[in-house]
Structure 1
């Protein structure tokens, strides 16, 4: 039988050991920032977690013009991220320092944050569209399509119709393709009670890669246009920091 004195000594010694297995506070969240247009690209911005303790450092980030395997890792205490021009936390409330702010949906731990033009009279430099890019939400070989136009849009891939209401997002999985692995694409907008063709093209079958597709209104003509961003294969769950951006 272990004596009470020996047991107390063991407990005291073990309580003094560092807990190396304890994870950092907050939820590990992997983020990639993407600019809708070149004027929204930014080489240096800072991500702030408003729910974190005041001494928490910001995370240096960049809004890029394309997608690759690089990502930023955040340990988020809440779901909101505020992006600012300067690194200090006071920049979240300082006039002229706000780049954008976003609240991530519950359960999203890996996301593409697409920077799009700001709303009228907004103090931020851009708005953020959240795209859950986990393998389950955005599988290999699929298209993530968002309609930012005020019109209903129909996309026809080969002979299959995909309809998008304004502000609607649709995931196209396993798109149809020809024997030569090409895809015939046409888009139509419902305007003045009729379907008007906006574009036609031939795409390559995506294989295991993914595509982020944005339907948006052209300011000059009012027509609906399509902007596409090629993405890489989904990352493995809990991929280590080897691919994390510095």
Structure 2
């Protein structure tokens, strides 16, 4: 349903076998393997962007795998996929921007 994935939301899907953590402006979201989380109205800084750091849990420790800026989705929706690259075996993040359907 559209209400399950509203505009202004990140839908983060962890397709890996490891627990991951996404920090947006230092607020953490922990995502278990093969699970999803929705981040509604993400925290932002100047310019409507969130400072993002992504971590993977290995041997009880958090190891950073990515960092950058995620622009606020605004009136759109964004799917963020975390997956293991089959060649390098490293976790990757890829984003898919989506336009919310009309009412």
TM score, norm. by length of structure 2 = 0.93
Structure 1 residue 204 corresponds to structure 2 residue 71: yes
Could you list the runs of 5+ residues in structure 1 that have no partner in the other structure? Answer: 1-133, 237-246
Structure 1 residue 138 corresponds to structure 2 residue 15: no
More strand by share: 2
Once residues 211 and 161 of structure 1 are traced to their aligned partners in structure 2, the CA distance between those partners, rounded to angstroms, is 18
Pick from 84, 91, 99 the counterpart of residue 224 of structure 1. 91
List structure 1 segments (4+ residues) > 6 angstroms apart after TM superposition.
none
Q: Per chain length, whose mean CA-contact separation is higher, i.e. which structure has more relative contact order (CA < 8 Å, sep 6+)?
A: 2
Structure 1 residue 160 corresponds to structure 2 residue 23: no
Larger Rg: 1 or 2? 1
Once residues 218 and 168 of structure 1 are traced to their aligned partners in structure 2, the CA distance between those partners, rounded to angstroms, is 18
| 1:60-79 deviation per Cα after TM superposition (whole angstroms, max 9, x unaligned) | xxxxxxxxxxxxxxxxxxxx
Aligned counterparts, 1:3-152, within 5 A: 134-152=1-19
Count how many residue pairs are aligned between Structure 1 and Structure 2: 103
More helix by share: 1
Could you list the runs of 5+ residues in structure 2 that have no partner in the other structure? Answer: none
TM score, norm. by length of structure 1 = 0.40
